[in-house]
Amino acid sequence: MLATMGALGLAPSAEAATRGAPYRAPRPGDFHLTGRAAAKVVVLGGGIAGLTTAYELGKAGYDCTVLEARDRPGGRNFTVRGGDTTTDLYGNRQTARFSDGQYMNAGPARIAQWMVTLDYCRELGVPIEVFTNVNADTYLYNESAGMTEPMRYRSAKADVLGYVSELLAKATDQGALDKDLTAADQEKLVEFLKDYGALGNTLDYSGGSRRGYSAWPGAAGTPGVVAGDVPTASEIFATGVGRYFAFEFEFDQAMLMFQPVGGMDRIPHALAAAVGTRRVRTGCAVTKVTDTAHGVTVTYTQGGRTRTVDADFCVAAMPPNILAKVPHNLGAGVQSALEAITPSSAGKIGLEYASRWWETDHRIYGGITETDLDVTHIWHPSYGFHGRRGLLIGYYNTGSKADSYAALSPKAREARAVAAGVKIYGEKYRTELATSFSHHWRQFPYQEAAWHSTPGGPDAARYQPLNEPTGHVYFAGDWLSYMDAWQHGAFTSARKAVTALHRRVLA
Ligand code: PHE
């Protein structure tokens, strides 16, 4: 039996222990000859982890009910469109006035090619398009370093990499690396640096077309004018722009990246449709979880009424900070593990403009401008190119910067974000603005976190009561994964809970 289960991917094997077994979805046929049947499961939370749990278990005929506190599925996967209304914990009520076709992904907004998220897009038929995470034509602006105007990413990169290459090539040439490299290796290194940094034969960096043009090249007779005013090495290092270049090397942030066409919430909506909309109960806030001798009883409120649902098993896929406030009988170990996981802040503002001036005036098509201002990141849209209107993310910030914006009224958030943007892009950042909508996860009911910090990592001993079932209750969420703050973490954590639950039902 164990061997059969191993072949089905339902039992641990030596290979699984070292590499992680490939996921295998439960199937109706798994119950053949076992004398077992699919069970009834109540899933707490209709975010990516909860919906995925119900979707995967549903493939084998489990009877799943998802309880979701909000009026929509998706959790932090939240796409804001015209007409959407939110009320934050401070009582700020906003209704988005975005025009047709304009949207902002308030939560997840980018997907790396290796992430399981794309497998779900493929399986569910959610069309995807490229999300531009890095763009040579966006700006870098460090006001606190004394920059008086923004620099194009490409110019900053040419200068920083040029001077770093120059200095390393010269140090090599002067024998500084004689202990580390043979003469032949040094020659190859210098050859590489000349190419990488665009150095001349004297190993000097002196700018060049990589920095960009002040007048673009064209037809014969129009060779263009290469951007001048090459800063000195000292000047360019003083700007601190080099700090942004490592971002694109990260495993989770490297291009190409993707987004669903039409908004990230295409994913939870496709999941909810596959689960069956009557199984996803919105407006249901969980108030109590009781593990019993034979199953679980969950109490919740819906439209002011208190209701209960009984099931054989429960998968708790709510945010840990919210779950920690729900009375339960799962023990002190569960409670202290939930309380050890701490919530983090992040916020975004969507600025809809009456024209796509960043495309026409700045020749920027998607990508991110990086700043040391409190707006931190400014995102250009990766959809709707050459359309009439467009929507920028005017800030995507975290921690105390996010909290300080959250403390303002939506109007004041807009004014502060626009004042920052004007410093980089000029007056059109203000004059072309049509409408805005801001969202702060730490101050958002039923969420109260953008993501979480799990000190010690999800496999630390204190989280064992969450990584294993407690009675009939399983736990899932990106916060129980190595990819916290990514849908990939929610998907893989849900798959882990589904695999363990299904294995138990079959045993
Ligand atoms: N996944 C989120 C994002 O891409 C949060 C995050 C940022 C996670 C950076 C890891 C690194 O914005």
Segment 366-386 shows an average pLDDT of 98
Block residue for tokens 């039996």: 1
Q: Whose CA is nearest to atom 5 of ligand 1?
A: 485
Q: What percent of the chain has pLDDT over 70?
A: 96
CA of 246 to the centre of ligand 1 (A): 14
Helix (H, G, I), strand (E, B) or coil at 306: strand
Tokens representing 181? 């490299």
Helix (H, G, I), strand (E, B) or coil at 248: helix
pLDDT over threshold 90, residue 8 = no
Block residue for tokens 């294995």: 503
Task: Count other Cβ atoms within 10 Å, centred on residue 31.
Answer: 17
pLDDT at 316: 99
* Residue to substitute in 250, 252, 257 for testing ligand 1 pocket (most ligand atoms within 8 angstroms of CB): 252
pLDDT at 21: 79
In contact, 95 and 410? CB cutoff 8 Å: no
CA of 15 to the centre of ligand 1 (A): 31
CA of 483 to the centre of ligand 1 (A): 9
Three-point CA angle 383, 387, 390, nearest 5°: 65
Residue 110 CA: nearest ligand 1 atom is: 4
* Residue to substitute in 486, 487, 488, 491 for testing ligand 1 pocket (most ligand atoms within 8 angstroms of CB): 486
Residue 346 CA: nearest ligand 1 atom is: 5
In contact, 202 and 194? CB cutoff 8 Å: no
Q: Whose CA is nearest to atom 6 of ligand 1?
A: 485
pLDDT over threshold 60, residue 10 = no
pLDDT tens, residue by residue, 390-443: 999 999 999 999 999 999 999 999 999 999 999 999 999 999 999 999 999 999
pLDDT at 265: 98
pLDDT band at 5 (very low <50, low <70, confident <90, very high): low
Tokens representing 75? 């959790």
CA-CA-CA-CA torsion sign (247, 267, 439, 98): positive
CA of 452 to the centre of ligand 1 (A): 12
pLDDT tens, residue by residue, 338-360: 999 999 999 999 999 999 999 99
The β-bridge relationship of strands 79-80 and 104-105 is antiparallel
Q: Which long-range contacts (CB under 8 A, 24 or more apart) does 428-434 make?
A: 428/355, 428/357, 428/361, 432/353, 432/354, 432/355, 432/357, 433/351, 433/352, 433/353, 433/354, 434/97, 434/99, 434/352, 434/353, 434/354, 434/389
* Residue to substitute in 115, 133, 253 for testing ligand 1 pocket (most ligand atoms within 8 angstroms of CB): 253
pLDDT at 2: 53
Beta bridge partners of 290: 297
Residue 250 CA: nearest ligand 1 atom is: 11
Cβ burial, residue 182 (10 Å; 0-12/13-18/19+): exposed
Q: How far apart are the first and last CA of the chain?
A: 9
Residue 450 CA: nearest ligand 1 atom is: 5
Residue 451 CA: nearest ligand 1 atom is: 5
Task: Count other Cβ atoms within 10 Å, centred on residue 105.
Answer: 22
CA of 490 to the centre of ligand 1 (A): 14
CA of 170 to the centre of ligand 1 (A): 38
Whether the bond between 256 and the residue before it is cis, its omega within 30 degrees of 0, is yes
Characterise 256 by phi-psi region: left (phi > 0), alpha (psi -120 to 50), beta (else): beta
Q: What is the mean pLDDT of the chain?
A: 96
CA of 116 to the centre of ligand 1 (A): 16
Rounded CA-CA distance 52/31 in Å is 21
Residue 484 CA: nearest ligand 1 atom is: 8
CA of 75 to the centre of ligand 1 (A): 17
pLDDT at 465: 97
Segment 310-336 shows an average pLDDT of 98
Q: At what angle do helices 116-124 and 266-275 cross, to 10 degrees?
A: 60
CA of 485 to the centre of ligand 1 (A): 6
pLDDT band at 166 (very low <50, low <70, confident <90, very high): very high
Characterise 461 by phi-psi region: left (phi > 0), alpha (psi -120 to 50), beta (else): alpha
DSSP H helices in 341-448: 357-360, 399-406, 410-425, 428-431
Q: Whose CA is nearest to atom 4 of ligand 1?
A: 110
Tokens representing 118? 């794309």
Q: Whose CA is nearest to atom 7 of ligand 1?
A: 485
pLDDT at 20: 67
Segment 5-26 shows an average pLDDT of 65
Residue 253 CA: nearest ligand 1 atom is: 4
Cβ burial, residue 355 (10 Å; 0-12/13-18/19+): middle
**3-state class percentages of the chain: helix first, strand second, coil last, to nearest 5:** 35, 25, 40
CA of 486 to the centre of ligand 1 (A): 7
Rounded CA-CA distance 396/413 in Å is 12
CA of 105 to the centre of ligand 1 (A): 13
Rounded CA-CA distance 131/110 in Å is 6
Rounded CA-CA distance 427/52 in Å is 45
pLDDT at 264: 99
pLDDT band at 104 (very low <50, low <70, confident <90, very high): very high
How many C-alpha atoms does 96 have within 13 Å on its Cβ side?
A: 26
Characterise 299 by phi-psi region: left (phi > 0), alpha (psi -120 to 50), beta (else): beta
Q: Whose CA is nearest to atom 2 of ligand 1?
A: 485
pLDDT tens, residue by residue, 358-372: 999 999 999 999 999
Q: Whose CA is nearest to atom 10 of ligand 1?
A: 485
The helix (H) or strand (E) run that includes residue 193 is helix 183-196
The one-letter code for the residue type at 269 is H
pLDDT at 228: 84
pLDDT band at 4 (very low <50, low <70, confident <90, very high): low
Integer-rounded Cα radius of gyration of the chain = 26
pLDDT band at 1 (very low <50, low <70, confident <90, very high): low
Q: Which long-range contacts (CB under 8 A, 24 or more apart) does 232-237 make?
A: 233/163, 233/166, 233/167, 233/205, 236/156, 236/159, 236/160, 236/163, 237/160, 237/163
Q: Which has more pLDDT, 475 or 13?
A: 475
Three-point CA angle 391, 394, 395, nearest 5°: 140
The one-letter code for the residue type at 250 is E
Rounded CA-CA distance 428/335 in Å is 51
Largest distance between two CA atoms of the chain: 86
Pocket, ligand 1, Cβ cutoff 6 A = 110, 252, 485-486
In contact, 481 and 490? CB cutoff 8 Å: yes
pTM of the model: 0.95
CA of 124 to the centre of ligand 1 (A): 24
Length of the chain equals 507
